[in-house]
């Protein structure tokens, strides 16, 4: 600073954060800029000079009145500035809505503006209020409060404060309750732009999910499997079988991946290096694709899959679950067996007793009608039957069979 004032003719210097304003004597602007840029290699300054006897600094336009030879001030807004504030219809506390106007009005009253500039800025505040759904009377009320209310900051700091989450009119009633005990209140909201636009990041580890996974060995061979438990647990089982086979070569293990590593003398890698999740699926959901065009067959297969998903090795509390099974067998006689480990013997799946269907000859069935019902002639017309059905007419009954391609 001493060098600036002594050698470069700086008569006045002021700085607010990274904005600097200087009053210099002579034409040494270029020298001052070069001097400042040499102070640190990572700090570079840019410079604006006055034009038409005025210059913009922060939110003010400073100009020199040639008639009175005095400095005058005017409120400055950047070209990118907008009039957007919290709209009057927004679900926010009234104190938050008033805050923007209080800031504008406080700056208006504290800045020494000329009468013309004061009126111009006040009209701008009126326009901002109307564009955001507020009445002009709110601005007038806040102007009056700003001039008359002079509450000491020290007095407010001595009082206890309570922060309430704003939910609507109920919040004001709760605030009055605190005021009875001389406790100041303020509101906070959760419906901010940041909370609305913020990406929701799941904290769940993908390896703790179920689904289809891929294990890549260090020899670049891959194994793809599906599990109903979390993939991390399934990987530990592969490694457990590997260690078991490593210690006892004669032991029988279930893991194909572990057998591959033993056979090719490969070393297990960390789970994050070898495991890739191909598809995460909800628990109990079976991955089956049925590319069938016939709706009747599709329904039958869907019903079969639903019944299969309901098969459990045990029925009591703590019994084995469907995802614990390693093998499932259906016998021609209708028996259903399972294995919890491939080395185990087949076990019968406990089934609930279902009602026995009794077949009766047609002669034992009662007649629905006392006499033969007539059939309308239009029902015999071929044009009323869809093209994808085959029509066979016999006397006096009619049978329709669906076409299955």
Average pLDDT over residues 229-234: 86
Q: Is the pLDDT of residue 164 over 70?
A: yes
- Between the alpha carbon of residue 125 and those of residues 102, 142, 404, the distances in Å are 10, 12, 76
User: Which of 11-20, 96-105, 296-305 has the weakest average pLDDT?
Assistant: 296-305
The predicted structure's pLDDT at residue 201: 52
Pick from 252, 261, 262, 259: which is nearest to 342 by CA? 252
Alpha helices by DSSP H, listed for 248-294, are 256-263, 271-274
Chain segment 264-284, per-residue pLDDT in tens? 888 888 888 888 888 877 654
Where are any strands of DSSP class E within 158-200?
161-165, 184-188
The whole model's pTM is what? 0.44
The predicted structure's pLDDT at residue 290: 40
Instruction: State the residue for tokens 């102007």.
Output: 143
Q: Is the pLDDT of residue 307 over 80?
A: no
Average pLDDT over residues 122-136: 89
CA gap 171, 235 in Å, rounded: 52
Q: Is the pLDDT of residue 287 over 80?
A: no
Q: Is the pLDDT of residue 293 over 70?
A: no
The predicted structure's pLDDT at residue 389: 47
User: Which of 128-132, 272-276, 383-387, 395-399 has the weakest average pLDDT?
Assistant: 395-399
More confident site: 240 or 396: 240
Highest mean pLDDT among 76-85, 192-201, 348-357: 76-85
DSSP label at 372? P
CA gap 11, 225 in Å, rounded: 79
Q: Is the pLDDT of residue 17 over 70?
A: yes
Chain segment 242-252, per-residue pLDDT in tens? 999 888 888 88
Angle between helices 136-148 and 94-110 (to 10 degrees): 60
Pick from 342, 310, 338: which is nearest to 237 by CA? 342
Asked if residue 242 lies in contact with residue 180, where contact means CB atoms within 8 angstroms, the answer is: no
Per-residue 3-state assignment (H helix, E strand, C coil) for 190-254: CCCHHHHHCCCCCCCCHHHCCEEEEEECCCCCEEEEEECCCHHHHHHHHHHHHHHHHHCCCCCCC
The predicted structure's pLDDT at residue 289: 43
CA gap 388, 1 in Å, rounded: 96
315: alpha, beta or left, given left = phi > 0 and alpha = psi -120 to 50?
A: alpha
How does residue 149 score in pLDDT terms, banded at 50, 70 and 90?
low
Average pLDDT over residues 259-264: 89
Half-sphere exposure of 362 (CA within 13 A, CB side): 1
How does residue 398 score in pLDDT terms, banded at 50, 70 and 90?
very low
User: Which of 45-49, 73-77, 167-171, 321-325 has the weakest average pLDDT?
Assistant: 321-325
Bridge partners (DSSP) listed for residue 222: 216
Q: Is the pLDDT of residue 157 over 50?
A: yes
Q: What is the largest CA-CA distance in the chain?
A: 126
> What b/e string do you get for 288-297 counting C-beta neighbours within 10 Å, with b at 16 or more?
eeeeeeeeee
CA gap 267, 217 in Å, rounded: 8
What rounded mean pLDDT belongs to the chain? 76
How does residue 228 score in pLDDT terms, banded at 50, 70 and 90?
confident
Pick from 91, 125, 86: which is nearest to 109 by CA? 125
Q: Is the pLDDT of residue 159 over 80?
A: no
How does residue 403 score in pLDDT terms, banded at 50, 70 and 90?
very low
The predicted structure's pLDDT at residue 202: 52
The predicted structure's pLDDT at residue 110: 87
Chain segment 40-60, per-residue pLDDT in tens? 888 888 888 888 888 888 888
């Amino acid at each position: 600073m001493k060098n600036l004032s002594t050698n470069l003719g700086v008569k006045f210097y002021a700085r607010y954060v990274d904005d600097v304003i200087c009053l210099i004597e002579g034409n040494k602007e270029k020298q001052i800029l070069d001097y400042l840029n040499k102070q640190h290699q990572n700090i570079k300054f840019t410079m604006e000079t006055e034009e038409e006897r005025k210059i913009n600094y922060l939110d003010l336009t400073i100009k020199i009145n040639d008639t009175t030879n005095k400095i005058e001030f005017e409120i400055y807004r950047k070209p990118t500035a907008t009039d957007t504030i919290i709209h009057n219809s927004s679900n926010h506390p009234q104190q938050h809505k008033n805050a923007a106007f209080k800031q504008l009005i406080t700056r208006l009253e504290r800045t020494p503006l000329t009468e013309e500039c004061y009126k111009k800025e006040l009209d701008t505040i009126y326009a901002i209020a109307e564009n955001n759904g507020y009445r002009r009377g709110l601005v007038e009320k806040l102007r009056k409060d700003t001039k008359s209310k002079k509450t000491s900051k020290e007095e407010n700091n001595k009082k206890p404060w309570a922060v309430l989450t704003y939910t609507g009119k109920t919040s004001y009633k709760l605030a009055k309750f605190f005021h009875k005990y001389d406790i100041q209140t303020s509101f906070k909201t959760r419906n901010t732009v940041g909370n609305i636009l913020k990406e929701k990041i799941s904290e769940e580890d993908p390896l703790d999910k179920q689904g289809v996974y891929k294990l890549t060995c260090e020899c670049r061979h891959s194994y793809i499997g599906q599990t109903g438990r979390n993939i991390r647990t399934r990987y530990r089982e592969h490694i457990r079988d590997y260690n078991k086979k490593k210690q006892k070569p004669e032991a029988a293990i279930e893991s194909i991946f572990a057998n591959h590593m033993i056979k090719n003398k490969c070393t297990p890698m960390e789970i994050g290096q070898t495991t890739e999740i191909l598809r995460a699926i909800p628990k109990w959901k079976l991955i089956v694709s049925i590319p069938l065009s016939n709706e009747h067959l599709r329904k039958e297969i869907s019903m079969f899959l639903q019944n299969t998903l309901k098969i459990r090795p045990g029925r009591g509390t703590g019994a084995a679950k469907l995802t614990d099974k390693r093998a499932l067998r259906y016998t021609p006689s209708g028996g259903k067996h399972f294995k919890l480990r491939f080395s185990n013997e087949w076990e019968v799946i406990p089934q609930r007793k279902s009602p026995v269907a009794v077949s009766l000859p047609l002669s034992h069935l009662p007649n629905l009608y006392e006499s033969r019902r007539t059939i309308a002639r239009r029902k015999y017309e071929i044009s009323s039957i869809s093209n994808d059905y085959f029509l066979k007419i016999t006397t006096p009954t009619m049978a329709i069979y669906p076409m299955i391609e």
